Chain A
Amino acid sequence: MKKKFYSVISVLLSLAMLAVMPACSQDQGAQKTVLQSTASTAASVVQLDVFSASTASTTAAGVYDNTWWGKVLKEKVGVSLNILPTGDQAQEKLQALMASGQLPDIVIFKTNKDVQNAIRGNMLINLDDHMDKLPNVAKNAATALKYSRDYISNGTGKAYAITNAVGPAESFGSEPSWGPYLRWDLYKKAGSPAINTFDDYLSVLKKMQDAEPKTTDGKKTYGISLWKDWDNYSMFMAQELSPTLGVDCGDQLAQLPFLQVDFKTGETKNILDADSEYIKSLKFYYQANQMGLVDPDSLTQTYATAKSKVTQGRVFFSWWAWLNDAYNTPARTNAALPTGFAAVLPKDTKTLVPGENYVGKSWTFAISSATKNLDACLKYIDFMYSTDGLQTLFNGPEGVTWKTDSSGKPEMTEEGWKYVNDPNSELPGGGKLADGIMIGSYGLSTGFINPKTKEALSYQLWDSTKAHIIANQTKLQKDWSGVTGSKTTLDFINANKMAITIPLAQSLIPSMTDDISASASRIGDIVKSDSWKMVFAKNDAEFQSYYNDMKTKAEGLGVKDVYNWSLKNWDTAQTKAKKYE
């Protein structure tokens, strides 16, 4: 009888062995590092628990002492961060932590509502009492502090939380957020016809498709390939036209469901109105489909599938520069006859570019009133608002990835470019280059001007970087420059005055209430399914009937209320913005 009991245990233990064995070699290293880190922590470094509500970033929980940026924090600030697990449940975890009455040392909030709740529960430190220890915050984020006292202090008028990414426009490098881009080689083959308005793409794409109906390995090509899995409150792919015309249609920049705002004129519109940019782009795709330009898999495929088609050269149209990278490999763009995507913009392009934002984004840094290491917390926050601190976190350690030349201007080193071009490679000390801002939040924007160098904080905006990009143009880019007369797409946009700055109000929109967001997603389901049906409608009559169906059903579900709510919030945001511009 006992034998049986033991044999069960022995089975379980052998199972345990089985699972541990493959991990052994890895494990020794891991344990050693844990020991090391605790040993050095004991000396003078303080470990801070960090909760970050950011789910949009690639935050992974744990201690990062063995990364280049972990070492920077240790040396310069004397802290080591222990990032708490959040996964995709950050909001739930925050609620649980708040209910328990104690927050971890540093909290990065996503919404202002949460901050106010935490203030009500006495869970945050009043930063105004400690301003002497936050000199960089006071110097670099004064407007953000004022905003915090005015709007996220729960009526106390004190600063409890400081907003993120304060400062001039976020970085761009050389490409705008929206193109569009065409396969440059085929566009030239089609005779480079002028694109005056958006509809001109259709005939161009048709010619391009005729020029190359199949790829070299015999696969059918398409002008446009769409995907469904990124849809939010409306069809994602149909929201991408408006930002190239200076219009936000509510879903991709901020959370204003079903409201379209024209940043050129300030005009607002319901996206379901027949003359909205959203319906216009549905019409564009519909016409493209009538001409046989749209990939028939569009209805069912995911982003990953569509991307692999771009990689294979089966798609000729792309909205974004980052999608081009899937096709534009050096082997292709530097070939004897270079092929690849390049910007081909309509004459009436008004592409949205980010503007100055001294109020900061809605994410905020705050310190828990339960912390036992207040000084270390203050020091860390101040570091996250210091130009020197962020210049290191954005670009890597000085002297390794970047240096300043004799005139004090910063530039990336050869080694630095290596890490930029191969983003998965590890810096000396461990960790990738982009990991420096791993927690997804930073005090000053990448475009903030460092008074020491008189240049932006991030290498992406340095003059030397631009020179480097121009010096290293691929054959394809050289060809493009020869035709357009501009060195980069952004230069082209600026030279032709094709940019519209996103107004400050856009980042001051209050977050959705639960009611509104529930109702918006109910309506969104109708809008999404009818939008796709419209794109793949057989004829104009069918297109119209799906449109009518969408409009009637959406109105039945109360799209008017959601729209009015969006409109009200947009007005609020504009009023707020006036105060800080």
Chain B
Amino acid sequence: MNKLKISNIVFRIINTSVFLIITLICVFPFYYIFINTISNNDLSSAGKILFYPIGIHFGNYIEVFKLKGIGQAALVSVARTVLGTILTLLGSSFLGYAFCKAEYWKRKFWYRFVVIAMYFNAGLIPWFVTMKSIGLYNNFLAYILPTMVVPFYVILFKTYVEQIPPSLEESVQLDGGGYFVRFFQIILPLSTPILATIGVFACAGQWNSFMDTLFLMKSQNLFTLQYVMYQYLNEVNALANLMRTSQATNVNAASMNLLTPTSVRMTVSFVVIVPILFVYPFLQRYFVKGIMIGAIKG
């Protein structure tokens, strides 16, 4: 009895400390970035800020929020993340569901046709030419349409649906429910864990993407937040580069004194990470596996 108690306490201590360390390891990078963004820029670029901020100021954030067109860019980013994720969820899950159906015409061929795109990629130029020829150049739809069917998500969803007992669907089929009824009323509600997983992936993917802006957009109303940040970082790097290539006679060093590439990189990282950090906790409850025990009798 006594022995058990001691081992219990020891277990608790070790358990708690291990998890505390793990939590710290997870949280520390974000904390580190944050204290670096609010510390003196010279110190942060010298790598002197490790555990607590020194010379606190918010100049870095003020500079970021003064960036040209940042409001519009934030809107575009949010719109593409929300719409893009919804479309990805709908498109990829329905296709995954369809691939489970044996009666699908040439199912194996189509399935492989989709999956092959996961391994082989034509490269930048064919992609650009294709997008341009189907009218997605300088078009908001270029952000959300191409990601509707992502082979990886299709596979994830298909595998998940395959382990849902077919009898559940059959019961609805007997009542006269078609594919759409079965999909929306039986399959989707039972697949929330995998939908949440795909949702988080898709959301982060949409939010973080800037290459499509870089190559496909020309109107600044369509720039995304990530792109504006990327451009800002580039500007600061370019200034540093000007110095390097000895063309600095036109550049006044004073314009370099306020910001350092390090401080800008850190601030930009923090600004773009924070919103997406909120997504996971909200979706977390859907990760609990749907309860199917006792759904079928006999």
At the interface, yes or no: A136 with Cβ under 8 Å from chain B? no
At the interface, yes or no: B167 with Cβ under 8 Å from chain A? no
Mask, A178-212, CB within 8 Å of B = 1, is 10000000000000000000000000000000000
Contact between B238 and A56 (Cβ–Cβ < 8 Å)?
Answer: yes
Pick from B79, B125, B213, B234: contact of A88, CB below 8 A. Answer: B234
- Chain A residues, Cβ within 8 Å of B230: 87
At the interface, yes or no: A20 with Cβ under 8 Å from chain B? yes
Contact between A93 and B42 (Cβ–Cβ < 8 Å)?
Answer: no
At the interface, yes or no: A140 with Cβ under 8 Å from chain B? no
At the interface, yes or no: B215 with Cβ under 8 Å from chain A? yes
Contact between A34 and B72 (Cβ–Cβ < 8 Å)?
Answer: yes
At the interface, yes or no: A23 with Cβ under 8 Å from chain B? yes
Report the Cα distance A257→B242, complex, angstroms: 19
Report the Cα distance A123→B221, complex, angstroms: 27
Pick from A319-327, A514-522, A529-537, A555-563 the stretch touching chain B: A319-327
Q: Taking CB as reference atom, which chain A residue is nearest B40?
A: A308
Mask, A83-99, CB within 8 Å of B = 1, is 01111110011011101
The distance from the CB of B31 to the nearest CB of chain A, in whole angstroms, is: 21
At the interface, yes or no: B156 with Cβ under 8 Å from chain A? no
Within 8 A of B (CB), among A1-33: 1, 4-5, 8-9, 11-13, 15-16, 18-20, 22-31
Q: Taking CB as reference atom, which chain A residue is nearest B244?
A: A230
Pick from B219, B254, B279: contact of A15, CB below 8 A. Answer: B279
- Chain A residues, Cβ within 8 Å of B238: 55-59
At the interface, yes or no: B154 with Cβ under 8 Å from chain A? no
Report the Cα distance A173→B251, complex, angstroms: 12
Within 8 A of B (CB), among A477-530: none
Known: A5-B189, A16-B79; 5 extra A-B contacts, CB below 8 A, are A4-B189, A11-B282, A49-B218, A92-B215, A304-B45
The distance from the CB of B85 to the nearest CB of chain A, in whole angstroms, is: 7
Mask, A30-64, CB within 8 Å of B = 1, is 11001000000000000001000001111111110
- Chain A residues, Cβ within 8 Å of B195: 8
- Chain A residues, Cβ within 8 Å of B245: 56, 252
For B71, B82, B211, the residue with the greatest tally of chain A CB atoms inside 10 Å of its CB is: B71
- Chain A residues, Cβ within 8 Å of B37: none
Report the Cα distance A338→B275, complex, angstroms: 50
- Chain A residues, Cβ within 8 Å of B166: none
Report the Cα distance A304→B235, complex, angstroms: 16
At the interface, yes or no: B296 with Cβ under 8 Å from chain A? no
Within 8 A of A (CB), among B118-146: 124-125, 128-129, 132-133
Contact between A19 and B45 (Cβ–Cβ < 8 Å)?
Answer: no
At the interface, yes or no: B231 with Cβ under 8 Å from chain A? yes
Q: How many residues does chain A have at the interface if contact means C-beta atoms less than 8 Å apart?
A: 82
The distance from the CB of A296 to the nearest CB of chain B, in whole angstroms, is: 14
Within 8 A of B (CB), among A275-333: 301-305, 307-308, 311, 320, 322-323, 325-326
- Chain B residues, Cβ within 8 Å of A307: 42
Contact between A423 and B254 (Cβ–Cβ < 8 Å)?
Answer: yes
A-B contact count (CB 8 A): 199
Contact between A12 and B82 (Cβ–Cβ < 8 Å)?
Answer: yes
Contact between A326 and B257 (Cβ–Cβ < 8 Å)?
Answer: yes
Contact between B250 and A16 (Cβ–Cβ < 8 Å)?
Answer: no
The distance from the CB of B187 to the nearest CB of chain A, in whole angstroms, is: 11
At the interface, yes or no: B209 with Cβ under 8 Å from chain A? no
Query: Given contacts A13-B82, A60-B235, are A308 and B42 in contact (CB under 8 A)?
Result: yes
Q: Taking CB as reference atom, which chain A residue is nearest B188?
A: A5
- Chain B residues, Cβ within 8 Å of A311: 42
- Chain B residues, Cβ within 8 Å of A308: 42-43, 45-46
Contact between A23 and B125 (Cβ–Cβ < 8 Å)?
Answer: no
At the interface, yes or no: B23 with Cβ under 8 Å from chain A? no
Query: Given contacts A12-B82, A20-B75, A62-B223, are A326 and B214 in contact (CB under 8 A)?
Result: no
Query: Given contacts A62-B220, A424-B255, are A8 and B286 in contact (CB under 8 A)?
Result: yes
Mask, B26-65, CB within 8 Å of A = 1, is 0000000000000000110111000000000000000001
Pick from B43, B77, B217, B231: contact of A19, CB below 8 A. Answer: B77
Within 8 A of A (CB), among B215-260: 215, 217-221, 223, 227, 230-232, 234-235, 237-255, 257-258, 260
Within 8 A of B (CB), among A124-170: 170
The distance from the CB of A177 to the nearest CB of chain B, in whole angstroms, is: 6
- Chain A residues, Cβ within 8 Å of B199: 8
Report the Cα distance A56→B237, complex, angstroms: 9
At the interface, yes or no: B204 with Cβ under 8 Å from chain A? no
At the interface, yes or no: B283 with Cβ under 8 Å from chain A? yes
Pick from A1, A82, A89, A173: contact of B219, CB below 8 A. Answer: A82
Q: Taking CB as reference atom, which chain A residue is nearest B237?
A: A88
- Chain B residues, Cβ within 8 Å of A8: 195, 199, 283, 286
At the interface, yes or no: A434 with Cβ under 8 Å from chain B? yes
- Chain B residues, Cβ within 8 Å of A26: 65, 70-71
Pick from B234, B250, B261, B278: contact of A171, CB below 8 A. Answer: B250
Contact between A87 and B219 (Cβ–Cβ < 8 Å)?
Answer: no
Q: Taking CB as reference atom, which chain A residue is nearest B283?
A: A11
Query: Given contacts A82-B218, A85-B227, A171-B250, are A304 and B42 in contact (CB under 8 A)?
Result: yes
At the interface, yes or no: A469 with Cβ under 8 Å from chain B? no
